[in-house]
Amino acid sequence: MNKSLVKVCPSILAGDFGNLSDEAKKIEDAGADAIHFDIMDGHFVPNLTLGPKALAAVRRSCSLFLDVHIMVYSPFDYIERLVESGADRITFHMEATEDVDEVIDFIHKCDRKAGLAFRPETSFSFVPKYIDKVDLILLMTVSPGFGGQKFDKSVVDKIELTKQLIDQQKLKTQIQVDGGINLETAKTCINAGANNLVAGTYLFSLENMKKGVEDLRNLAKGS
């Protein structure tokens, strides 16, 4: 895999919520491809985090692609506010709505990229139904809701199967992984077929985030 095809998206969830503008600039200065922005409603997952107003503040602070992952029930109701706040891609959970197609179509109608996320325990059997309808498949490598969790190795097989589908159908759909991503787990995911890495705790723990971003990209060399 060519390293230029691997995108690195630091998760601002691992940053300082009291200094979001500075954290956004830090990610941008590190040469990342996007800022990964998590929104949780306290219902779909047992945690509350940032919302559309905070997203708008980040949008004003930098020009990076804003990759918004919503862990909420009734995702359709959030789309317009997220678009107005500056989201470039909106990824929602298949498990959070009874009408996945409606949400995908509305995101695209708003001229934004659409992503579909899956919990680690969700059956892979749902992926083929939507893989040609979205721009990105997010395979969570931890249970959604909290940062700093241990990487779930069981998801690696799903990454491989998803990559096979994309190759068979000659799609441009990206495979994103999120949760417990560091140099070791990122290498495993890239080898399995992932080309979009979300890393929060790992990158924010480094003194030099720029080097961390480059190190993650360089893992793809020779893969």
Note the pLDDT of residue 143: 86
Note the pLDDT of residue 7: 97
Q: Which residues pair with residue 140 across a beta bridge? A: 178
pLDDT tens digits along 29-76: 999 999 999 999 888 988 888 899 999 999 999 999 999 999 999 999
Domains of the chain: 3-218 (3.20.20.70)
Note the pLDDT of residue 146: 64
Tell me, yes or no, if 38 is annotated catalytic: yes
Annotate 133-180 with DSSP letters as a single string.
Answer: T-SEEEEESS-TT-SSPPP-GGGHHHHHHHHHHHHHHT---EEEEESS
Q: Annotated catalytic residue: which of 33, 157, 178, 215?
A: 178
Note the pLDDT of residue 64: 97
- CA gap 47, 60 in Å, rounded: 26
Distance of CA 43 to the CA centre of its chain: 20
**78 or 146, higher pLDDT:** 78
Q: Which residue has the tokens 């919990």?
A: 119
Q: Annotated catalytic residue: which of 29, 33, 38, 99?
A: 38
Tell me, yes or no, if 41 is annotated catalytic: no
Note the pLDDT of residue 148: 66
pLDDT at 184 over 90: yes
